[in-house]
Structure 1
């Protein structure tokens, strides 16, 4: 069946629903961007104070918290966990990059370029 054979009211409803999906996708992207801005600051703070890039205890608590939120939202908790695990891995990768950049000698008045 092609879209030419579908009733106009069905197509209108499909378009409406897809428009909602597109708006939600945009919101998810912007929320992720905000989340990564915060985790960037966390990574910089950790690097300045030579803290570990990963925090398995916090990550475990966050995963459990997200699973509970998913259940209350009627979202598959396993899916929510997979998503958060992926995000956490990306955050840790960013923190490792920040830490590696911070390991370079800092610039000071007598060492203007950090050498």
Structure 2
């Protein structure tokens, strides 16, 4: 009987963890959507004023900042940098599409 109780307790704890993970995933999606709404506005502003889609100096500052935030949060800074680089590439792709007149959506 003890094994069943232990297994049931483990399943209940697993369900709690998974519910938290699901909530976090939902929050991440909403935060990314808001971030891309903002970067779309940046892309429109850049296109309107003939500014380049990419800003390597800003990107490097953001990477350094995010790596430090990750370190402080006990998250692997390499993972955080890869994640940000993925987002940056997508933002630049959107900005290039906006500048060429081919609006894109996040």
Structure 1 partner of 2:65: 65
Q: Any runs of at least 4 consecutive aligned residues in structure 1 with deviations exceeding 3 A, and if so which?
A: none
Aligned-partner Cα distance in 1 for 2:53–2:47:
8
User: How far has the Cα of 1:32 moved from its partner?
Assistant: 0.3
Partner of 2:22: 22
Matched residue pairs, number?
A: 98
Between structure 1 and structure 2, the one with the greater Rg is: 1
- CA–CA separation in structure 2 for the residues paired with 1:9 and 1:86: 39
Q: 5+ unaligned residues in a row in structure 2: which ranges?
A: none
CA–CA distance in structure 2, aligned partners of residues 98 and 42 of structure 1: 10
Q: C-alpha separation between the residues in 2 aligned to 1:9 and 1:78? A: 35
Cα RMSD of the aligned pairs, angstroms, is: 1.3
TM-score for the superposition, normalised by structure 2: 0.90
- Structure with the higher helix share, 1 or 2: 2
Alignment map for 1:37-76 (pairs within 5 Å): 37-76=37-76
Unpaired runs of at least 5, structure 1: 103-115
Trace 1:1-115 onto structure 2 (pairs within 5 A): 7-101=7-101
